[in-house]
Structure 1
Amino acid sequence: MLTEQQIDAIADELAEADRAHSVIPRITARYPDAVVEDSYAIQGRWRDTQIAAGRTLVGRKIGLTSKAMQHATGITEPDYGVMFDDTVYRSGDDIPVDHFSNVRIEVELAFVLKTPLEGPDCTLDDALAAIDYAVPALEVLNSHIELEGRTIVDTISDNAAYGAMVLGDVHKRPDEIDLRWVPGVLSRNGEIEETGVAAGVLGHPATGVAWLANKFSQHGARLEAGEIILAGSFTRPMWVSRGDDVSCDFGPMGTVTCRFV
């Protein structure tokens, strides 16, 4: 495992890479003995410095919850990161591409909690009962660590590669729609690039919310009412560049759009 000094140094590197929109060498190439616990410690140290600097935490992202994403990354277990208020966009917004590194888009559902949720024995039914509503979303990936050869340790350390989210306008309670069958048809500049259904996320997109509550319980923490939980992609990531118009048709949950400028 890494020392406290090494954890601090890597967290500082990632904070600077975030400010400079740059990429650093793989952590696991430099510290081959680093483990998952180290990566969450690095992420936590970075998170705390961001909160101390005045940013406001609004939720959590869950990643690598679908076979599509696991195959795309070569990483086979879910992970999580934090989301701040200044990373939330609305459908139709322009997104400055220079604010991110290795920019890609994923198709997801986000959930807003109406009550706290805690493990260690949280089930899908518990998660559904705690959810106020679901909303269609796009996640902007932002990777500050070189992509080739990275492991889950690298990804988690880099806040699970989270950059921003784009939220749609349609809200659905879990009892209003079968969330498993919400579709996603992702297009770039009018051409369909990726398709999928939300059941690709652990069989039900809210399963990840229960997983996260149970994961948090290992550290004596819980998910709080009002938090946004981004549940994981059910398509492969799509690369985007400046000038790209992105649109995703979520069927009964509407369409989410954005443009990279």
Structure 2
Amino acid sequence: MDVNGLAQRLMREHEEQVRFRPFAAAGGIASLDDAYRVQDRYVSLLQTRFGESVGYKIGLTSQRMQRMCGIDQPIAGVVLADRLHRSGARVQISGYGRIGLEFEIAVRLASDLPISGPAFTPETIAAHVGGVCAAIEIVDDRAADYAELDVLSLVADNSWNGGIVLSAFRSPWPELDAVTGVVHRNGVEIDRGHGRDVLGHPFSPLAWLANALAAKGRSLRAGDVVMTGSLVTTRFPTETETYSFELEGIGAVALTVEAG
């Protein structure tokens, strides 16, 4: 497996907005460990353009998203500094192979997590969370055919993260499993979900990520932002539209996507 060659290929394909095609088998990516090795190298190349890591995205944490992608397990990717936006941001559709929007609960870590020790659970990781907020993830699936999608290619491509948009963080917060999240497009409700839709509670994917990182000798750090997965299925804007996502008792976030 040519890790550097695969990472360079991903850089090229994103620059040229080449349509996403599964590449794991042809590239010799035989396992999730292989896929994350390619992701690590790809992210190191991205960092020269988009800054250092500010956290992570976790994807495929709801049954709706797993069914959409045909993949039955969570995945992770890295979020970079210049791809972190505040509520009210505007982005150009033309800047992506195909832009998608996902609507999530984000958390911000208040303390460093230990690498060693007992595995984290949703209950034990809660003490390390300093705030939660409404968030929109920008994904770039480059017009992938979801019928052909494989988890190894998706992970290697940094799990398609193209950025995140955050509202103000809130602490304390209501019971997150019971929180309702409502998506509006141009002021009209188009979907809704609940905190329990992401593995039963948003802290479940957070614990999954912490344990996955610890297995590699890494850890979440104070200040890291983590996207816990979309409560609803991805939306793919094709014209100028404003999307908002409101989490009851927490806040709302908005993003305008512009055509042309």
CA RMSD of aligned residues (A): 1.9
How far does residue 90 in structure 1 lie from its aligned partner after superposition? 1.2
Give the Cα separation in 1 of the matches to 2:20 and 2:9.
8
Q: Give CA-to-partner distance per residue, 1:168-204, whole Å, 9 cap, x none.
A: 125133xx31111221111222332221001111111
In the alignment, structure 1 residue 126 sits paired with structure 2 residue 113:
no
Match of residue 98 from structure 1: 94
In the alignment, structure 1 residue 245 sits paired with structure 2 residue 242:
yes
How many residues in Structure 1 have an aligned counterpart in Structure 2?
Answer: 255
Q: Give CA-to-partner distance per residue, 1:208-235, whole Å, 9 cap, x none.
A: 1111110011111111111101111111
Q: 2:17 aligns with which of 18, 21, 33?
A: 21
After superposition, the Cα gap between the structure-2 partners of 1:82 and 1:145, relative to the gap in structure 1 and judged at 3 Å, is farther
**Does structure 2 conserve the Cα–Cα contact (< 8 Å) formed by 1:181 and 1:198?**
yes
In the alignment, structure 1 residue 70 sits paired with structure 2 residue 66:
yes
In the alignment, structure 1 residue 84 sits paired with structure 2 residue 83:
no
Give the Cα separation in 1 of the matches to 2:113 and 2:75.
18
**SS of alignment partner, residue 229 of structure 2:** coil
Report matched runs for 1:74-223 at 5 Å: 74-118=70-114, 121-144=119-142, 146-148=144-146, 149-173=148-172, 176-223=173-220
Normalising by the residue count of structure 1, what TM-score does the alignment of the two structures yield? 0.91
How far does residue 24 in structure 1 lie from its aligned partner after superposition? 4.0
Give the Cα separation in 2 of the matches to 1:54 and 1:28.
25
Normalising by the residue count of structure 2, what TM-score does the alignment of the two structures yield? 0.91
Q: What are structure 2's unaligned runs of at least 5 residues?
A: none
Q: Give CA-to-partner distance per residue, 1:233-255, whole Å, 9 cap, x none.
A: 11111111230111222222222
How far does residue 62 in structure 1 lie from its aligned partner after superposition? 0.6
Give the Cα separation in 2 of the matches to 1:229 and 1:170.
12
After superposition, the Cα gap between the structure-2 partners of 1:117 and 1:240, relative to the gap in structure 1 and judged at 3 Å, is same
**SS of alignment partner, residue 121 of structure 1:** coil
How far does residue 51 in structure 1 lie from its aligned partner after superposition? 3.0
How far does residue 104 in structure 1 lie from its aligned partner after superposition? 1.3
One-letter identity of the residue aligned with 1:254: G
Q: Give CA-to-partner distance per residue, 1:144-163, whole Å, 9 cap, x none.
A: 47334011111101111111
**Does structure 1 conserve the Cα–Cα contact (< 8 Å) formed by 2:131 and 2:169?**
no
How far does residue 35 in structure 1 lie from its aligned partner after superposition? 2.3
Give the Cα separation in 2 of the matches to 1:28 and 1:179.
36
**SS of alignment partner, residue 106 of structure 2:** strand
Give the Cα separation in 2 of the matches to 1:129 and 1:59.
18
Q: 1:224 aligns with which of 221, 232, 241?
A: 221
Give the Cα separation in 2 of the matches to 1:182 and 1:170.
15
Give the Cα separation in 1 of the matches to 2:165 and 2:50.
22
Q: 1:37 aligns with which of 27, 30, 33?
A: 33
